[in-house]
Amino acid sequence: MPTTIEIIRRKRDGRELDPSDIAALVAGYTRGDIPDYQMAAWLMAVFLRGLTTAETRALTEAMLYSGAVVDFSHLPIAKVDKHSTGGVGDKTSPALASIVAAAGVAVPMISGRGLGHTGGTLDKLEAIPGFRTDLSLAVFRRQVADIGAALIGQTPEIAPADKKLYALRDVTGTVESIPLITASIMSKKLAEGIDALVLDVKFGSGAFMKSRAAAQMLADALTSTGEAMGKRVTALLTDMNQPLGRAVGNALEIIEVQQLLRGEPVAPSFQNLTLDLAAHMLMLAGRVETIADGRRLAQDTLSSGAALAKWQAIIAAQGGDPRVAEDDHRLPKAAHEAVVRAPQAGRIAAMDTEAIGMAAVILGAGRLTLDAVINPAVGFHMEVALGDHVVAGDALVRVYYDDVTQLPEVIRRLRTAITIKAD
């Protein structure tokens, strides 16, 4: 067995590592036998030299088996999840869990919190009074078996190597590495005990991958790694050059989710992406043979009320008040409202979606520091979308806020984030 320094040198020099070397490295670091400075050196070597498909698979497996792997083999139905690489206003997870579970597929979801300018599923769910995302793995297993879906945060038992490695990557400039991103995502997702996974890989101004080409590279890496580990995986590349849907902010996004589940009108971008992702999940689960059939089945769960009923069951099972599903007034509401208006006539030509996300963070909808407390009530309602025509004075963004001291900076950022081109 080579020493740690030999493993570092081999990757530094661009040589391919044996899977057993990667497994030993991850295990040693997780136990605390390998110090941060040596693991940081290896991460930088990977960042600069990359990993082969076989190495990425080995790293994923080592991280996956550093902790518990949920076993749902006793359930007679398919187990499918969705993972998004993150965006602004991306609220599909609660809707998908409800729709796909209502169609007879198990949906075990282990989700994350907001990161940088992007929102987090757990933060949105916790806008519902009483909703718990800190369930144990035992409760998680039982809930998926009983009602078909559960949405929780990463527990200490799930991929502990990933938690430790991510913290080190965050402070060593090695986050933006496709093999490291791939192993991080897939180790957590495969620990859920799923049979199949649909990936929503974002590109554009509000995504971590700004170009479609970079998003495609990540999608290919994620898909090939999942398939190499015996899972059915498909990836959709989706646009994040504007917020998804109209709502940005935790309670506001839950309201938009519930409007969809109740069959009320919502932004086409949100409805279409949700139905597309649901269709792919249903097809991977074997419930339908085509994407078109999957969309129809997903739409049927909305039209019949089955998806809304499933959402209420999820809320109740996780400690929330299921009455919020039909009464949005039971969710937190900001005290004040302001409107950002168009300074001129023209067409909405571009949006700096990352800047919009950061404005929401400054407003209190996200975290500027790890220990910051999120205000679930605050956020935005986007009154325009790309391509819309406006006249001077038209509403661009409706701002819901509590702390007036943050408002001027938030409005300034929103104004500069939206580009209007004269007709």
83 tagged catalytic: yes
Distance CA 199, CA 237 (A): 8
346 CB-near residues (< 8 Å, 6+ apart): 389, 390, 420, 421, 422, 423
210 in catalytic set: no
Q: Which DSSP symbol is given to 305?
A: S
The span from the first CA to the last CA of the chain, in angstroms, equals 68
Whether 184 sits among the annotated catalytic residues: the reply is yes
Catalytic position from the list 184, 187, 205, 269: 184
Catalytic residue among 21, 90, 123, 162: 162
Half-sphere exposure at residue 275, Cβ-oriented, CA atoms within 13 angstroms = 23
Q: Which of 141, 169, 189, 381 is labelled catalytic?
A: 169
CA gap 160, 87 in Å, rounded: 25
Q: Which residues contact 91 (CB under 8 A, 6 or more apart)?
A: 119, 124, 244, 245, 247, 253, 254, 256, 257, 270
What is the rounded CA–CA span in Å between residue 213 and residue 237?
10
Using alpha carbons, select from 315, 395, 328 the residue that is nearest to residue 101.
315
Closest CA to 182 of 232, 218, 212: 218
Give 222-275 as a DSSP string. Answer: HHHHHHHTT-EEEEEEEE-SS-SSSEESHHHHHHHHHHHHTT----HHHHHHHH
Neighbours of 406 (CB within 10 A): 16
DSSP state of 366: S
Q: Provide the phi-psi class of 175: left if phi over 0, else alpha when psi is between -120 and 50, else beta.
A: alpha
Other C-beta atoms closer than 10 Å to the C-beta of 132 total 15
CA 65 – CA 52 distance, rounded (Å): 20
Which tokens hold the place of 338? 């302001």
348 class by beta-carbon count within 10 Å (0-12 exposed, 13-18 middle, 19+ buried): buried
373 phi and psi angles, rounded to 5 deg: -100, 125
**Residue of 10, 113, 164, 188 marked catalytic:** 188
Q: Clarify whether 189 is annotated catalytic.
A: no
Catalytic residue among 10, 83, 164, 381: 83
Catalytic center residues: 83, 162, 169, 184, 188
